[in-house]
Amino acid sequence: MTRWRWGGKHVLVTGGSEGIGAAVAAAAGKRGARVTILARRAGPLSATAERIGALAVPADVTDTGSLRAAVATAVEENGPIDVLVHCAGTALPGRFLEVEEHEFADQMRLNHLGTVNALRAVLPAMVQRGAGRVVVTSSTAALLPVPGYAAYGAAKAAVAMLAAVVGTEIESRGVRIGVLYPPDTKTSGFDAENLRKPPETAAISAGIAPQSPERVASVVLRGVERGSRTITSDVLTRALLVMPGVLIPVMRPVLARIARRARTRE
């Protein structure tokens, strides 16, 4: 297999203004790639682009017209896209019976359909060229029934299945798709998420130290280099991916007990 080289590659990162996306973009740029970052908020996007030396193109992944126009601009400025790392997304934790109804649709629209839109905007050209690498972002919450993540976990599970199906369709045409399963990661989005976690969700999260975006980014880049189908940076998620039929039945009652204790202390 030919050794992967970042030099001269065009890397497009959605959700690239902060968090994991910004860390991936910075790491790819340091390895010699031409980097384009996309995000909805123009101010933070421009600031990050200036800091890491990337091209900033404002876009909303839930708006297909905005996204396709942004991809066209990225290609015009930096050439054909060799790597797509799709990080745009959000987590709005809350108990199933208590969250606002629209939040289920909001998280599915951004996390799942935003991924659909990004793939449909970038994949046709990759397939036509017969080359490309893609990473989409799921979550450990897609693998484990964590209380408080009914909407988020379901949307991220949809992302994982989407990538698996699309991968079976296009891998023979030279494009590899990997799924990132990041654990809790210390970002501004994670800080905002913590402000609204129910006690039981917070109690479960408290036992796991969040990783740095840079740590996750290094694993993402290694996954791109290897053409990995699954990418993760922690032992628990790796074990869940390898032995879901064994671990999930064992962990489900444990999570339920933690939830009950947290509720009684509320």
Residues taking part in catalysis: 138, 152, 156
Neighbours of 158 (CB within 10 A): 18
Residue 105 vs residues 90, 99, 111, 238: alpha-carbon distances, Å: 12, 12, 10, 29
Tokens standing for residue 226: 């290897």
- Provide the residue count of the chain: 266
Q: What is the dihedral of CA 80, 115, 242, 260, to 10 degrees?
A: 150
- Tell me how far apart the 2 most distant CA atoms of the chain are, in Å: 58
Which residues lie below 8 Å from residue 7, measured CB to CB, with a gap of 6+?
31, 32, 33
Q: Which residues pair with 171 in a beta bridge?
A: none
What span, in angstroms and rounded, lies between the C-alpha atoms of 14 and 17? 8
Helix (H) or strand (E) holding 133: strand 132-137
Nearest to 232 by CA among 161, 172, 160, 167: 160
Which residues lie below 8 Å from residue 97, measured CB to CB, with a gap of 6+?
none
Letter string b/e over residues 47-82, b meaning 16 or more CB atoms within 10 A of that residue's CB: ebbeebebbbbbbbbbeeebbeebbebbbeebeebb
